Structure 1
């Protein structure tokens, strides 16, 4: 469904940026996934204290926004960084002292937090992490397959109908309401009118079957057999068995 939706409504710059971010290192992404898992299934984790510079920044941020209302957050931060180099050493020491005190409290809270986690929660974390790692792997593979020119699944009869009508969408109508209206129109469409889209969907499906077979043959010839669906399924099953051991 999501893939079909993207065919109808191509990704914008923000989505493209998200896609590019998938290229970050595996270790970094897995670490982020683990933090998200802990947030979902564990008690709130103690937050790290803010360093001396950030505490100083927060203490004068509101004042600077009033003095420079037209400055962006980036410009404000730049001004704070410049001021920080000229701040009285005594003031800096006070902020640093606050940070060290908060850091000491944080370490104790973190130790208590880790000791409070049960074996069952640890097991749950591990299982959830494995699932999210697999989801991430599938997402990265999907992007690689697209880069290698894998044919896209064709639209269904309904989505072909929706594609024909999307240019007529009233900008004042919400996406949700438009989808509801277009679904009602499809339901009330005559069988003769529907047959036009059904026949086109069938033609595209047959073309897709031919194209995907040709593409898979090329992938094997080019040494990309490890990316084919059957190979990936076998690999995932092997990895699951290893984790169970």
Structure 2
């Protein structure tokens, strides 16, 4: 019975494979034809049961269309070089060549506005308020990221590290655990189990790092004030700058008042001295 069972199993397996092949091939062909003939509206991101996302502009549509061709021609090219090459091609294109992509973007934007109105009509006031709050949070996050990039470009010094941060950077590679969270937990446990004289080394390194940061941030803030970027300076230093400016203005006003008062004082003294001289002569 064993050979008969083996033959039946192989036959059933072959039948399943053939049936799957014949059932899947038409669907694949139809999907290719549909994707080749129809150019759907592409959004930046898509969410199920979520708000419609803003569609791609003309340039991004050109990049999405031409990127596979550039990659197929140059398989070893990097993604950054692909985008740079496509951007250069887009700049060299004429307005007539750009018009189909831009027109498709305009049509997609119209459809996006209609979909957005339909979606917002289904929401309650609480959900609309939640959307506004999430939008503000995303905007604040983008603003913080841009500010951080700007500070890095301007060369703002890094903050001083704590003793545990210094210990963690030195022992992170040999820490126990497969994930980053597990390694951090094991390092925290090891740090708590250290003796006081062992921690003192890292405490001293942290104090030295504080001095380093204090000197570097002071020179950096002075440079920012010199180039007219007082908005990047800390609040404490801004208060100090305002105090110094007030003192200088007070000194200037006092000096001006003294200069104005000196001629009147001289006239008073001369008028007092003249009668005394005449009395002496009499």
User: TM-score band, normalised by the shorter chain?
Assistant: 0.3 to 0.5
TM-score (norm 2): 0.42
Identify which of structures 1 and 2 has the higher relative contact order when contacts are C-alpha pairs closer than 8 Å and 6+ apart. 1
TM-score (norm 1): 0.48
